[in-house]
Structure 1
Amino acid sequence: MKQNIDKGQKINKGHQIAAKVFMVICILYFILPVWWLIVAATKNNAGLFMGTGGPMWFDKHFALWDNIKELTTYQDGIYWRWLFNSLLYALVGGVGATALSVMAGYGFAKFRFRGRKVYFNIVLGALMIPTTALVIPTFIIMTKIGMNDTIWAVILPSLLSPFGTYLMRVYCQSSLPDEMMEAARVDGAGELRTFFQVSLPIMTPAITTVFLLSVVNCWNNYFLPQVVLANTKLFPITVGLTQWQAKSNAGAGVEQVWNLITCGAFISVIPLVLAFLFLQRYWVGGITAGAVKQ
């Protein structure tokens, strides 16, 4: 009996070690590209290709501040215009997509109306369609209504989030008790008051998740702005940096701006990191607010 227990403990310990090793490998897999970006952002062009520290370590010449200054002056500082555009597209698109997803998911989960299953099946079907497949039809529609090459050509398609709607519907069904809503109605609360004062606080974790996913999706959007925008002043950071990359790849005799590309990419990551850090407390707060005594 004791031998069997010892053997089981050894097997369990071996599984724990294997799990920890696998976790360390996964961490390194995700951290190394980020580390390379941080290191590369501090190098000039010479340091990127012929630096003394190698690709994964800092060069003897720390050029981060020089790169930021050059970003401010290169092409009249258009990089900061691109960064502002990305912030605009991400915030407006993220807030709009979250609001529509919350209302649609709440309606699908808590109200009975004709065609509810059919409409929700359409939402599920939209999940199966790659967003890149919709870019050309979106371009044609925007051209027909005269919105091509405007900020609305990027923002309006970003307001629709089938995954956000699906997530909100599932969350409302599983975490929003019908009894609580019925109690609010019995106490005289209307549908709007029930939604804003009773349902919405419980939905905070899901709302935060949908908002973050929508913001990240809008921030990383590349193909749609590439197709519908021609004015370089309206480009988001993804399209702008790609143009600089294509320019640097053109070959000898062309101005190389690899240091600006790496530094610009590093700066563009910072807003997303800050968003995740600041919104974490709403995740936890929303979970606490959603606790219900049975």
Structure 2
Amino acid sequence: MSIVLEPQTAAPARVPRPAPRPAKRRPSASSFSVNGLLIVGCAYMVLPLLWLVFASTKNLQDLYATSALSFGDFSLGENIRQVFAEGGGVFGLWMLNSVLYAGFGAVFGALVSVAAGYAFDKFSFPGKEKWYSFVLLGVLVPNTATVLPLYLLASNIGMTNTVWSVLIPALTNPFGVYLARVYSQAYVPGETLEAARVDGAGPIRSFVSLGLPMIMPGFVTIALFQFVGIWNNFMLPLVMLSNEKLFPVSLGIFSWSSQAYAFPHFYPMVITGSMLSILPLLAAFILLQRFWKSGLTAGSVK
């Protein structure tokens, strides 16, 4: 009697069930409100610039005959020529004055702020926190509130209607000092300075050779803030200066705008000059934005 064994068949493999798809979350009312505020903020900042670009291509007739966000007959070249030809080329002198005021204030004002912030962070001296409290108090005071006292001080020493009446106030920036101290705490380790002192470096040598290179991102940031603030400054030059050849571009365009009521041909020049005046700001941001990256020395203590 023979026994025949039937071949055993393998059990069918179980097919894994697909994981249930997570239910799509519907955007909440808070996300709609946040995105709406962002869109409104972007439109608030971008639309005036777009209008400035479109309006600079129009002549006087097109400014009133065409819509706001549309090109004119592309009179941009003619408008630029009129801007630089008006008053014997005084607009070019205004631009150079603004570059002088803003460039001087950005470089030397940022250097003063960085040195002061570094000193408040790394040095110990009597009344340190009290003096720093005065600096923070200066941050709360608007710049327009200091224009009249500055004018009285400048008039007492005969410094009004000179370039120094605009350059010297640009060296002080309480917010820059506060920002420099924050950068110094983050980028300049105390152990590195201690090692420099052991090697024989004094306070000034330590700041120039170690502190300033480490805090360079903060220096560039403060310099950009200074450059933009001085370039757009209006009240201080308005009070201090009466000579048209010393005007910055902001005050010069204002003088043209005040004449446009009686002489309408100034309107295209005011618009085109305003567009040209923002080009140095764009160039400064584009050229210096690579310095905003965080330094590799932050916290790198061996």
TM-score (norm 1): 0.89
Structure 2 counterpart of 1:48: 63
Q: Specify the SS of the correspondent of 1:288.
A: coil
The equivalent position to 2:287 in structure 1, one of 265, 278, 293, is: 278
| Residue 118 of structure 1, CA deviation | 1.5
Structure 1 residues 220 and 184: CA distance shift in structure 2, 3 A: same
| Residue 15 of structure 1, CA deviation | 6.6
Two-structure CA RMSD over aligned residues (Å): 2.2
Counterpart check, 1:33 vs 2:48: yes
Structure 2 counterpart of 1:57: 70
Task: Report the AA paired with residue 268 of structure 1.
Answer: S
Cα deviation per residue 1:221-258 (whole Å; 9 max; x = unaligned)?
Answer: 101100111111111111111111111124xxx34311
Counterpart check, 1:262 vs 2:275: no
Task: Report the AA paired with residue 212 of structure 1.
Answer: L
Task: Give the Cα–Cα distance (whole angstroms) in 2 for the partners of residues 40 and 21 of structure 1.
Answer: 28
Q: Which stretch shifts more, 124-133 or 109-118?
A: 124-133
Cα deviation per residue 1:45-87 (whole Å; 9 max; x = unaligned)?
Answer: 1111113xx111101x101110111112111111111111111
Q: Kindly report which structure 2 residues correspond to 1:47-196, keeping only aligned pairs within 5 A, or say none.
A: 47-51=62-66, 54-59=67-72, 61-196=73-208
The equivalent position to 1:240 in structure 2, one of 252, 259, 265, is: 252
Task: Give the Cα–Cα distance (whole angstroms) in 2 for the partners of residues 195 and 33 of structure 1.
Answer: 43
Task: Give the Cα–Cα distance (whole angstroms) in 2 for the partners of residues 287 and 100 of structure 1.
Answer: 21
Cα deviation per residue 1:102-122 (whole Å; 9 max; x = unaligned)?
Answer: 110000000000111121111
Larger C-alpha radius of gyration, 1 or 2? Answer: 2
Structure 1 residues 143 and 182: CA distance shift in structure 2, 3 A: same
Counterpart check, 1:292 vs 2:300: yes
CA contact (8 A) 2:191 2:301 kept: no
Structure 1 residues 290 and 230: CA distance shift in structure 2, 3 A: same
Task: Give the Cα–Cα distance (whole angstroms) in 2 for the partners of residues 287 and 163 of structure 1.
Answer: 21
Structure 1 residues 45 and 200: CA distance shift in structure 2, 3 A: same
Task: Give the Cα–Cα distance (whole angstroms) in 2 for the partners of residues 190 and 118 of structure 1.
Answer: 26
Q: Specify the SS of the correspondent of 1:153.
A: helix
Q: Kindly report which structure 2 residues correspond to 1:212-251, keeping only aligned pairs within 5 A, or say none.
A: 212-250=224-262
| Residue 211 of structure 1, CA deviation | 0.2
| Residue 12 of structure 1, CA deviation | 6.5
| Residue 130 of structure 1, CA deviation | 1.5
Q: How many residues align?
A: 284
Task: Give the Cα–Cα distance (whole angstroms) in 1 for the partners of residues 148 and 99 of structure 2.
Answer: 24
| Residue 16 of structure 1, CA deviation | 6.2
Task: Give the Cα–Cα distance (whole angstroms) in 1 for the partners of residues 39 and 151 of structure 2.
Answer: 44
Q: Which stretch shifts more, 119-128 or 193-202?
A: 193-202
CA contact (8 A) 1:201 1:289 kept: no
Task: Give the Cα–Cα distance (whole angstroms) in 2 for the partners of residues 187 and 38 of structure 1.
Answer: 57
Provide structure 2 residue ranges, at least 5 long, that are not aligned to the other structure: 1-18
Task: Report the AA paired with residue 233 of structure 1.
Answer: K
Q: Which stretch shifts more, 100-109 or 167-176?
A: 167-176
CA contact (8 A) 1:201 1:290 kept: no
Task: Report the AA paired with residue 29 of structure 1.
Answer: Y
Cα deviation per residue 1:271-290 (whole Å; 9 max; x = unaligned)?
Answer: 00000010011122x52344
| Residue 177 of structure 1, CA deviation | 1.4
